[in-house]
Chains A and B, each alone.
Chain A
Amino acid sequence: MSYYLATIVIYFGVYGLGALALNLQIGLSGIANFGFIIFESAGAYAAAITSIGPASNGHALSETYFWGINLPFPLPLLAGALAGGLLALIMGPVTMRKMRRDYQAATMLAISIIATQVISNDIHIFNGNAGLAAVPSPLSGHLNVSTATYDWIYAGYAMVLTAIGYVICKRISMSPFGRSLRALRDDDDAAASIGKYAWAMKMKVFVAGGAIAGLAGALLVQYIGAWSPAAWQYAETFVLLQCVILGGIANDKGALLGAFVVGVFLAEAPSFLPAIGYPGLINNLQWILIGVVYIIVLWFRPQGLIPERGSLRLAVNPAFDALTGGSDRPRRLRRRSATSRPGVASTADATAPGSAAVATTGPAVGPR
């Protein structure tokens, strides 16, 4: 039971990071990344080959990659993020060009399928369908704990990474840059007319999302210890897309909620159920369920459980300020201003005392 719960928490982290990154791209910026799973996969492979070590380490399945390199924690994780970002950097110049969103979706999907086929069929790249195995868990040799304890430590680690991912995505989505992305998504011609350079903006988000996806992949592979093309079929992208749609498109909290409902309960939890019927029946029923939920959500609540915020109220919204540090909060001001001491508000910091009042009524600042 404990193993079950820890695993669920870790999967929540993996789906959460994936959904956050996909939401950043598709929800906030309108990038129809239907090949999202390959960025996670790139991160997983990168983390695996930089930590798997030489082939002679006793595991029959493992092969030597990168001259048997075995990077210490947390470098494989960072290699995963780097790989995801790098893949986006390579794909972006073509796929982020101005094109209709359905063409973009089709292009991404095609790339995703081609990538799976190539990796499956060429055993010289990542060992084909057999994939990589015996990927070591980070610090497993250094932490002298039981497997169950280790799982919980890893779950905590996954939650920390998810929290970091959440803050990153929130800071982007609730910033002027995030607002420009929303504008671009809603009408790219009008956004261009006010000086927004669509390609550069999309590239940034594409790479940032790719890096977070790579991080999610690395987090997963270091836990399950193996990675093969079966783990990143194109359909996985649509599970993540469902997380985003069900949770609430262009809403970071929604992405996490979607990851919890769809990722954990629909996609992962059924594999812990006792077998019924013929082998693979649960797996098949699960895909049917996922499809049915898609239809139900799009029919009855297309905006998702937590819809996009209609009005952003940047810099005047206390809730947002508390999370992103995006306000002139007294605590932060104290650290910044050398003259004021704790508990003594500097007179220069006009916004320090009663900043909430200033925030809600709007400042008396003239136009630039």
Chain B
Amino acid sequence: MAIAEGLGVEKIVVTYGGVRAVDGVSIDFRAGAVTGLIGPNGAGKTSLLNVIAGALRGAGGTVRLFGEDVSRLSSDARGRRGILRTFQTARTFERLSVVDNLIVAQPEQRGDRLLTALLRPRSWTAQERAARARALELLDLFGMTSHAEVRADQLSGGQRKIVDYLRALMANPKVLLLDEPSVGLAPGVLERLSQDLERMKGAGVCIVLVEHEMEFIRKSCDHVVAMANGSVVTQGSFETVAANDDVRAAYLGRR
């Protein structure tokens, strides 16, 4: 089965003071698949995610997007290349409405340039309406169209998570990094998210899922990577990883 490599990390090292939070991790994340990243707290999962997204500069290692080295790019440049992420604690633009939180992520908006906004205000309206229609379609996936004009700071924690996720979708992701998306979501909403991940997978998106919710992992992931103490313990299908003694030991804190 030949599946294109979507995202590759090689020998990533992250140190906080003297602690090596990520210690030479190399993983290939395939496009059109969901790769789960599991491990106990402090295993280095979120640090790895931050390095991939460019939010954290690692002490070493390479990040490749479809074979191209993006290690030196800033986080916004990676965002434009299609590496999108969500946050562990959902981060929304508090004083923007829900629908504006999504539209703002629409790439290549003509009106997103100062001079166009100043001199040619009519040139961007058609594009804006198209983006708005698209944002409303995305909100509809999670039954949130009625909240479209609500300010983001009025939302519940679960709704924020969804807005955070949909904002990433709005930006046309090639790689989607999800940091504990299940936290704060009602079971029904989690089910919808699971279905939506299938949809994104079908569109060829490379999805990386950092999670603690094992049932969600089992249902959603094609491949699971288990980390502990900054290193990869084992990887494979959910069943093989779950059955691995080292993984069990890591979660239970025994060696």
A→B interface (CB under 8 Å) = 168, 171-172, 175-180, 182-183, 185-187, 189-198, 204-205, 208, 250, 308, 310-316, 324-328, 332, 362-368
Partner of A186, one of B79, B96, B103: B96
Partner of A179, one of B76, B100, B122: B100
Residues of B within 8 A of A194 (CB): 79, 84, 104-105, 167-168, 170-171
Q: State how many angstroms separate the Cβ of B132 from the closest Cβ of chain A.
A: 7
Give the secondary structure class of B's interface.
helix
Size of the chain B interface, CB-CB below 8 angstroms: 59
Query: When A and B form their complex, what is the total count of cross-chain residue pairs whose Cβ atoms lie within 8 Å?
Result: 171
Question: In the complex, A179→B74 CA distance in Å?
Answer: 22
Q: Assuming A187-B92, A194-B167, is B117 touching A171 (CB within 8 A)?
A: yes
Q: State how many angstroms separate the Cβ of B140 from the closest Cβ of chain A.
A: 12
**What 10 pairs across the A-B complex have the smallest Cβ distances?**
A195-B79, A175-B117, A311-B97, A176-B111, A367-B134, A195-B80, A315-B128, A311-B149, A315-B125, A186-B93
Q: Is B109 an interface residue (CB 8 A)?
A: yes
B→A interface (CB under 8 Å) = 53, 55, 74-77, 79-80, 84-85, 87, 91-97, 99-101, 103-107, 109-114, 116-118, 121-122, 124-134, 136-137, 148-151, 164, 167-168, 170-171
- In the complex formed, the residue of B with least CB distance to A313 is B149
Q: Assuming A189-B91, A194-B171, A204-B114, is B100 touching A363 (CB within 8 A)?
A: no
Question: In the complex, A367→B102 CA distance in Å?
Answer: 13
B99 x A208 contact (CB < 8 A):
no
A332 x B122 contact (CB < 8 A):
yes
B149 x A310 contact (CB < 8 A):
yes
A367 x B79 contact (CB < 8 A):
no
B134 x A310 contact (CB < 8 A):
no
Q: State how many angstroms separate the Cβ of B206 from the closest Cβ of chain A.
A: 16
Question: In the complex, A308→B94 CA distance in Å?
Answer: 12
A183 x B76 contact (CB < 8 A):
no
Name, among A176, A177, A196, A315, the residue most crowded by chain B CB atoms within 10 Å (CB to CB).
A176
Q: State how many angstroms separate the Cβ of B134 from the closest Cβ of chain A.
A: 4
Name, among A190, A204, A208, the residue most crowded by chain B CB atoms within 10 Å (CB to CB).
A190
Residues of A within 8 A of B122 (CB): 325-328, 332
B96 x A363 contact (CB < 8 A):
no
